[in-house]
Chains A and B, each alone.
Chain A
Amino acid sequence: MTDAPPVEVRGLVKTYGEITAVDHVDLTVRRGDVFGYLGPNGAGKTTSLRMMLGLIRPTAGTVRVFGRDPQLSVRALEGVAGFVEAPRFYPYLDGRTNLRLLAALDGDDAPRRIDEVLEVVELTDRGGDKVGGYSHGMRQRLGLAAALLRRPKLLLLDEPATGLDPGGMRDMRRLIRRLADDGITVLLSSHLLAEVEELCNRVAIVRKGRIVYEGELEDLRRTAGVSYRLRTVDDERARRVCAAQPGIESTDGAGTGVITFQPADDQALAQLSLALTEAGALILELAPRSATLEDLFFELTEGDGDRELAAAHVDAAARIVEEAPS
């Protein structure tokens, strides 16, 4: 195949009447990525994936999968598989027959892989039961099996773990991890930061149809930084010390008795504790807040008034500029 990237989206727009579901989205998934497409419900994730699979027409912009346009022909989906929203099957046929049907529509040697993919998703025992009686989790796994029939190089998965019970979620994530380790490029949409953190190396955060961040998850994590909460015996004095201390960026207003700040590094943090003690603002509590990435995510995707802060974070991030390989 060519060395075109698995997914390359440029200026993608989809409007439904007044609603702009997808608003000038650019993103590139590179070979070997486990790419997280992260955003709250209604952000336009499913709509974007539908355009990548050629199910709906973009209002504007382009989608290329391995350099080909899925709007023109399903040949663009060679080596590509996945599903949007919950995978759907013929309820009156059993699981295995559904797969036989889909394998027939795939051609090639897909029909010979049915047993193998049922085994992978642990549905071998239930393959003979009508899909109408399947649980949500079983359908989700059958959806993955159907995708694997195509021996994909790229998997497009739309919230694959959503709606599963905790055990099912864990199994689904393990499976995706395993497939990614086998070298399959994965684009996975999710509204759960934790899921993306667990599985993905790169992420695009989408808000109301727009990408607000695209880059390495590692960079985003670094940008978000680690913030600390501080409580002392003298609120007022502590605040003054923080403001004067080099390498400390205090982000909190007055009145709560708790100061939140971000130290430039461990050295700055150590210096601050010393300065506080010297100033007589004895420390009652100094603890890192682990939820910082989560805060950033919420700021990026939900914040209205506080957009500037989020924007500042993003600007600071080493934004990966995609060079489209020609």
Chain B
Amino acid sequence: MSAARTPGVGTIYRWELRKLRSQKRTYLGLGAAALVPIIFAVAVAAQPGGGPEDVPFGRYIHSTGLAIPLVLLLFGSIWLFPLITALVAGDIVAAEDHNGTLKTILTRSVERGQIFIAKMLAAFSYAALAILVTGTVATVAGVIVSGFHPITSLSGTQVSASHGLGLVAASLGVYLLPIIAVACIGLLFSTLFRNSAAAIVGTLMFSLLLQLLTIIPGLGGLQPYLLSTQFNAWQGFLRTPVDWEPIVRATWVCAFYAIPSLVAGMIVFLRRDVAGG
């Protein structure tokens, strides 16, 4: 008997990306990720006076382009980036249900677990790409509109433009933590609901409902442990010296959301009956 070469997660992952490349919704999310910073930069250029004074870095958007990606990270955390992430993560299993293709791929030579992991990696990759696109476009557009100038940190000290650029990059990296947690929740709901619209809406509802929890008297103390709070962890980088406390907290709080979601999603995926299609 020949020793069969069985394919690994890498192969499945590459084909998951290939599928994403062939679907319109992929470009919907990436398009939004590119378009929003351009619109924002154009708006900044069109209104030389004003700016969102009430958010951190809002008052610097005219003095340095580096403030623009940072303000976008703040605005985008409420629903834009969670939505872009959920758009793919919530769809990546449910779409197979919708097309009836689970039975097609589950009767080849790859285990269910491998498929789930490949899908997870594809959803992460997409979310990371979306953040990278926004960050890059926002920085470039920002520099064009407001110039490549030093930025004032949250502690009030001046940071050189090139160092500031490094901090923006680091901020994008930390921003990925809650994004990946959202992707994990999206993946769980996608597996559970078998319907992409329900999974996408469910993922957004989940993070909104968590925020509502803190309105309940006595539960305000939960604030630091909410997923939404972790979207601000990057601000630790924009203090001098760097405040690692929110960044470290974001790491484990996000893991606290991500890992159980992944484990639950994996168990459901491994055990479920594939009877549709």
Instruction: Give chain A's interface residues, CB within 8 Å of chain B.
Output: 1, 47, 50, 53-57, 73-75, 77-78, 81-93, 97, 101-102, 104-108, 146, 150
Contacts and interface: CB of A to CB of B under 8 A. Distances in A.
A83 B103 contact: yes
- The prevalent SS among residues of B at the interface is loop
4 shortest A-B CB distances, which residue pairs? A88-B100, A105-B108, A56-B273, A107-B7
B105 A102 contact: yes
Residue from the set A88, A92, A93, A102 with the largest chain B CB neighbour count within 10 Å: A88
A12 B14 CA distance: 38
Contact of B11 (A75, A77, A92, A104): A104
Residue of B5, B22, B104 ringed by the most chain A CB atoms within 10 A: B104
Q: What's the interface size class on B, roughly?
A: 20 to 34
Interface in B88-105: 99-101, 103-105
A212 to B, nearest CB: 24
A12 B109 CA distance: 24
A75 B107 CA distance: 10
A74 B111 contact: yes
Contacts of A89: 99, 101, 104
Nearest to B23: A92
Nearest to B271: A57
A101 B15 contact: yes
A56 B112 CA distance: 12
A87 B175 CA distance: 42
A54 B107 contact: yes
Given A91-B99, A92-B23, A105-B12, A56 B104 contact: no
B42 interface: no
Nearest to B16: A101
Contacts of A150: 108-109
B110 interface: yes
A88 B276 CA distance: 10
Contact of B99 (A47, A54, A90, A105): A90
B110 to A, nearest CB: 5
A88 B277 contact: yes
Contacts of B112: 74
B19 A93 contact: yes
